[in-house]
Amino acid sequence: MLQKVEDLSSLRLEHNRLQREIVAQRVTIQRPAAERPQARVQELLVEVHRLETQLHQVGRITPELEEQAQLDAELEEYFERQLTQDLETAQSQSANDAQQLKQELETTKRMSKIQVNLLKKQHDAAQRQYKVVLLQLKQDRETIKHASGAEIEQLKQELEALRAEQERTRTKDARLNVRIKNMDEDELRGLYESGAELVGLQMAKIAELRAEVVKLTTQHETILQRGANQELLTRNREFAATDAAQRQVIQRLDAEVEGLKGKLKLADDQATEREKVMTGHVNLIEDYKKHLADVKMSD
């Protein structure tokens, strides 16, 4: 655009210069003949013709350039106005975007604050719940501890009573064996008559002892299960501080359980021994019956 304006100015200057030069040449031509040679006049006419031709060309180009310059100026004004509008639109849009971002930021801050408060409340509630659960677990541990101790003591007493009963029965059986060996025929006959009742009682006692063994075995398995539950409770990370004490309790329970196992085995062995003795009594009575039958046949 600037280049076209400069070209137009140059053409205007050239046009003015040519007009001045043509005027000067015409003045020279119009001098008296005495003052100008004929050859010089001819040269001046040629020069005037050339200058008029150039002037005509410059005069023909100049309106086109002026029209083009005006059009360029209008285009430049249009583009400048359009650019100004675009700039104002962009500035307005930027201001709107900035305002929207500011509002979104404020909203995000408020939501973050609400979420932080909510998480804090949830954390406090979880801590309170944790304390309640921890207290309940401690109480359950103490309850299991006391209950296990009481049950173990009760089992000890029952085993001691069973052992005493088995000792009395063994002593009685030993005395009965000695007595049977020293009996005569009449005493053996009386023993035979009461043997059936005695065998029935002894068999019932054996069944009772076996039921007691099953009961003790069940109680033993219950104690083992509680011991396993106690060990699982010990593994809880919240009771790490008391883990050593709980392991001692578990070790003590294991030791007592092993003792109960031994006593259970002893009770079972004694019941088996009693069954063997009673079987011997039954065999002895059967032999006596055969002996009586043989005596009758010989008579």
Report residue 208 as tokens: 């009772």
| Average pLDDT of span 18-45 | 57
| Distant-in-sequence contacts of 59-62, Cβ < 8 A, 24+ apart | 59/15, 61/11, 62/8, 62/11, 62/12, 62/15
Core vs surface per residue 37-57: b (16+ CB within 10 A) or e: eeeeeeebeeebeebeebbee
pLDDT of residue 128: 83
Residue whose token pair is 């006959």: 189
pLDDT tens for residues 211-232? 776 776 676 677 666 655 555 5
Q: How far is Cα 101 from Cα 105, in angstroms, rounded to an integer?
A: 6
DSSP per-residue codes, 112-159: HHHHHHHHHHHHHHHHHHHHHHHHHHHHHHHHHHHHHHHHHHHHHHHH
Examine the pLDDT at 165 and tell me if it is beyond 70: yes
pLDDT tens for residues 257-288? 666 666 666 666 666 666 666 666 666 666 66
Contact 2, 69 (CB under 8 A): no
Q: How many helices (H) and strands (E) does the chain have?
A: 4, 0
pLDDT tens for residues 71-85? 766 777 777 777 778
pLDDT of residue 35: 45
pLDDT tens for residues 230-250? 555 555 554 444 555 556 655
Residues 6+ apart with CB under 8 A from 109: none
Q: Where are the domains of the chain?
A: 2-106, 133-298
